[in-house]
């Protein structure tokens, strides 16, 4: 399968920031921590993790890159880690998270990626993307973090690894590495 068949594009709400992910993500996960709740304005964050070289971020020509792509350094520790959250300075959509613990990886919110190609008029599409293998981007999350804060009415997702908070035992970390394809 070629990289283009599994690639995805995405954007912030206003379209000033465009993202492209080339090839399959390493994994998809949910996080119910306080940071992800506030960051998304929803009750959990859904993300894909990709390698730095898979991700391209561009700012619309004519816009100032520094004011369009802003980064907030979260040191609250509410997610268990310090993280850099990059967002669109115009519309506020989250674009990516970076953790100093995983310097070569980028965590991209699933909701900014287009599951389907855009319609010709630029509005969000609703049909399956041509060339999609049907599994890469429709796959279920493999991990759930911070389930101590999970809303009770959010059902079971079938994730393989479910953590009350952060994974911290050697056994947990080993399983995690296997999912990331690093074990
Ligand atoms: Zn924007
Ligand atoms: Zn989180």
Domain locations in the chain?
4-179
Interval between CA 112 and ligand 2 midpoint (Å):
17
Contact (Cβ atoms closer than 8 angstroms) between residue 176 and residue 49 = no
Ligand at minimal distance from the CA of 85 is 2
> What pLDDT sits at residue 76?
84
Interval between CA 153 and ligand 1 midpoint (Å):
31
Dihedrals phi, psi of 56, to nearest 5 degrees: -120, 130
Q: How far is CA 144 from CA 94, 156, 159, 179, in A?
A: 20, 10, 7, 12
Q: Residue 110 gets which letter from DSSP?
A: G
Q: How far apart are CA 176 and CA 183, in angstroms?
A: 8
Q: How far apart are CA 131 and CA 31, in angstroms?
A: 29
pLDDT in tens, the chain (183 residues): 455 557 788 999 999 999 999 988 889 999 999 999 999 999 999 999 999 999 999 999 999 999 999 999 998 877 777 789 999 999 999 999 998 888 999 999 999 998 765 556 666 665 554 555 555 566 689 999 999 999 999 999 999 999 999 888 899 888 888 888 887
Q: How far apart are CA 142 and CA 150, in angstroms?
A: 16
Interval between CA 112 and ligand 1 midpoint (Å):
10
Contact (Cβ atoms closer than 8 angstroms) between residue 35 and residue 55 = no
> What pLDDT sits at residue 110?
93
Given the DSSP bridges, would you call strands 55-59 and 17-21 parallel, antiparallel or unpaired?
antiparallel
Contact (Cβ atoms closer than 8 angstroms) between residue 47 and residue 108 = yes
Dihedrals phi, psi of 112, to nearest 5 degrees: -90, -5
> What pLDDT sits at residue 3?
58
Interval between CA 29 and ligand 2 midpoint (Å):
10
Interval between CA 92 and ligand 1 midpoint (Å):
6
> What pLDDT sits at residue 117?
56
Interval between CA 32 and ligand 2 midpoint (Å):
6
Six-digit token string for 126: 């609703």
Interval between CA 127 and ligand 2 midpoint (Å):
30
Interval between CA 159 and ligand 1 midpoint (Å):
31
User: Yes or no: is domain 4-179 CATH 2.170.150.70?
Assistant: yes
Interval between CA 78 and ligand 2 midpoint (Å):
8
């Amino acid at each position: 399968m070629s990289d283009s068949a599994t690639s995805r594009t995405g954007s912030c709400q206003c379209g000033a920031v465009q993202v492209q992910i080339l090839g399959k993500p390493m994994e998809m996960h949910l996080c119910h921590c306080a940071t992800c709740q506030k960051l998304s304005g929803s009750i959990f964050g859904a993300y894909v993790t990709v390698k730095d070289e898979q991700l391209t971020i561009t700012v619309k020509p004519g816009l100032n890159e520094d004011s369009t792509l802003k980064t907030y350094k979260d040191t609250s520790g509410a997610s268990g880690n310090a993280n850099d959250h990059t967002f669109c300075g115009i519309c506020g959509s989250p674009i990516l998270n970076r953790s100093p613990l995983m310097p070569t990886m980028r965590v991209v919110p699933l909701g900014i990626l287009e599951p389907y190609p855009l319609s010709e008029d630029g509005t969000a599409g609703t049909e399956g993307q041509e060339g999609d293998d049907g599994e890469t981007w429709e796959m279920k999350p493999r991990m759930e973090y911070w389930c101590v804060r999970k809303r009770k009415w959010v059902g079971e997702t079938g994730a393989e690894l479910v953590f009350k908070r952060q994974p911290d035992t050697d056994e947990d970390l080993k399983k995690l590495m296997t999912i990331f394809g690093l074990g």
